[in-house]
Structure 1
Amino acid sequence: MSSHPIAHIHLDPSKPISPLRDAHPQHRAHEHKHLPHPTALKVHPGGKSTGTENARLYFVGTATTILEWEGVRIMTDPNFLHAGDHVHLGPGVTGTRLTNPSIDLHDLPRIDLVLLSHYHADHFDQHVEASLNRALPILTTPHAHTALTTKSPEEDNFTAVTALDTWQSALLHITPPSQSSSAPVGNPDAENRGPPLIKVTAMPGHHVPPLLAKVNELAGAVPPTNGWMVELGRGREEEVKEVGYRMYITGDTLYVDELKSIPERYPDVDLMVVHLGGTTIPSPSLPLLMVTMDAKQGIQLVHLINPDVTLPVHYDDYDVFLSPLTDFQEAMASAGLGEKVAYLDRGDAYAFSVRG
């Protein structure tokens, strides 16, 4: 699907590595803990649950989620600020958090990898940046890679950051696979499919309208962003041989022409995690520029990607959002897609089945 070289990252969920840098002994008790029990565990909204769900996506808040499958935990866009905290979003632009995350940063269990869509404080806040384990693997944009690996003093640098530009991929090798879903001994078909494997591919995205891209690049106001295609399945060293579930995470993109190439490459998407909110700068009271999808663009993307299920995030946690979740709910209902969307409150989780 791509001629770009593939990065290889080996994840061993059996290793008791703290997600935090220089974790205080009182926090080390959390290293082996599970995530909190979800307030509500949602399944397919169309009544397609089989009772065999073997993976889940836990919603922390804003764009922060934690994917659990085969013993591995992947965290997206970590933001753990609390109501009243502020973030810097560009020259002269700040945002105030209105909600609390469902779990505190220092209560995180083991995390194996971070997917960082872009280097923006509402996706990678100042406390996260100061506190995360420097050896924690991170997949992100080339821009964020530079920011995370060229710090002063040098010991503040993150040491396991992989940059992925559009259509570039990384293979996450899980060692060892969980006993509950590993290939049975003597089953040639299962053995041929290979061990559990996750492929992450960077998707196109534009955080500002394309007409302003050059101006923004010169000004350095809004950082470049990635979306992600996350494929869970089984395979060998170079490829996921059998994709058991495909999840598209949009990142903070607007609806732009480049997104039209996604369904051409990936015609079957099981779950789309869509960043909404209609983020406006400098503020909703002075909405000069929209930099994330509102409900109108969100429903356009639903029609374009045609996922089996859509899960909205990033819509009410900060005071820079102009388009509330209710706008998207009404648009989905009007389009007759009420049974193809799942809504999570902070602390809820969505359970699904990875085939194979």
Structure 2
Amino acid sequence: MTATITVIGGPTALLELGGLRILTDPTFDPPGEHPAGPLTLTKTTGPAVPPAGAGRVDLVLLSHDQHPDNLDDLGREVMAAAPLTLTTPEAAARTGATPLRPWQHHDIGPVRVTAVPARHGPPGCEPVVGQVTGFVLTGAGLPTVYISGDNAALEHVEAVAARFPAVDVALLFGGAARAPMFDEPLTLDAAGMAAAARLLKAGKVVPLHVEGWAHFTEGPPDVHAAFAEAGLTDLLLSPPPGRPVTL
């Protein structure tokens, strides 16, 4: 069986898999400024699909709730209307969603969702940035899909690859996001995305979270250049936002 993905913008994509409609990190607000603790994050590009255009959502996979570039006001409304949201224990306590710790799983229809480790920045960043998670989707006759979330740690990608040696599609969050309190990016840079693709032996890679916010320091051209330098151009799939593509 196949999967269909519609890139909506930022970290948000609609994945159709096993008859389910699965939404990643819902962000549907228009461009503007968003407070984030001591910082203000500036959204530069609106979603390619409005909330109503997303249609039925069976499952939301939320990497974390504490940053507005991964869950904004309209995104919260979409999430509230969905019958199930899986996320970190920390985010679940704040939102009422269903918590998953790393390597725990939840079955919905024919799809098994396994939470996998992620770290939103350099080692030791957790007290500042909080918990984040990635996900792996598996099922009989279905492609295996890895969703990285805001992960900057290639050692976590390596751990995922060890448990799931056949990743058909990797949705990799990048952008090399930066904040003034850290010297290193809070998400993968383009070279790190290429390294992650190689570690996963991914069949296809869909870049997410590489545009739309002012605190991203890299964009789609950087991703394409890094994959070309690594000899992995054939893995990249960058569908136009808003247009469903079958993988």
Say yes or no: TM over 0.5.
yes
Q: Which residue number corresponds to residue 142 of structure 1? A: 89
Taking a change above 3 Å as real, the CA distance of residues 133 and 261 of structure 1, as seen in their structure-2 partners, is closer
The letter of the residue matching 1:251 is: G
Distance in 2 separating the partners of 1:79 and 1:54: 25
Taking a change above 3 Å as real, the CA distance of residues 127 and 325 of structure 1, as seen in their structure-2 partners, is same
The letter of the residue matching 2:26 is: P
Q: Which residue number corresponds to residue 304 of structure 1? A: 199
Distance in 2 separating the partners of 1:341 and 1:107: 26
CA contact (8 A) 1:206 1:256 kept: no
Distance in 1 separating the partners of 2:149 and 2:155: 15
4+ residue runs over 4 A deviation:
none
CA contact (8 A) 2:57 2:82 kept: no
* 1:104 maps to which of 50, 53, 78: 50
Q: Secondary structure at the match of 1:281?
A: coil
Q: Which residue number corresponds to residue 92 of structure 1? A: 38
Distance in 2 separating the partners of 1:61 and 1:75: 12
Q: Secondary structure at the match of 2:95?
A: helix
Q: CA RMSD of the aligned region, Å?
A: 1.9
- Superposed, which structure 2 residues align to 1:1-356 within 5 Å? 54-83=2-31, 85-89=32-36, 91-119=37-65, 120-130=67-77, 132-133=79-80, 136-149=83-96, 161-173=97-109, 197-210=110-123, 212-213=124-125, 216-217=126-127, 221-233=128-140, 243-282=141-180, 288-352=183-247
Taking a change above 3 Å as real, the CA distance of residues 54 and 295 of structure 1, as seen in their structure-2 partners, is closer
Distance in 1 separating the partners of 2:118 and 2:129: 13
Deviations 1:72-91 (A, max 9, x none): 211110000112x22233x3
Taking a change above 3 Å as real, the CA distance of residues 135 and 302 of structure 1, as seen in their structure-2 partners, is closer
Offset at residue 131 of structure 1 (A) = 5.8
Offset at residue 54 of structure 1 (A) = 4.4
Offset at residue 257 of structure 1 (A) = 2.2
- My pick for the range that moved more, 132-141 or 264-273, is 132-141
Q: Secondary structure at the match of 2:98?
A: strand
Identity among equivalent positions (%) equals: 28
Distance in 1 separating the partners of 2:161 and 2:64: 23
Q: Secondary structure at the match of 2:26?
A: coil
Distance in 1 separating the partners of 2:71 and 2:16: 20
Taking a change above 3 Å as real, the CA distance of residues 98 and 261 of structure 1, as seen in their structure-2 partners, is same
Structure 1: segments with no counterpart, 5+ residues: 1-52, 150-160, 174-196, 234-242
Taking a change above 3 Å as real, the CA distance of residues 168 and 331 of structure 1, as seen in their structure-2 partners, is same
Distance in 2 separating the partners of 1:293 and 1:69: 26
Distance in 1 separating the partners of 2:155 and 2:53: 41
Q: Secondary structure at the match of 1:292?
A: coil
The letter of the residue matching 2:187 is: T
Distance in 1 separating the partners of 2:182 and 2:157: 24
Offset at residue 305 of structure 1 (A) = 1.0
Q: Secondary structure at the match of 1:244?
A: coil
- My pick for the range that moved more, 104-113 or 272-281, is 104-113
Q: Secondary structure at the match of 2:179?
A: strand
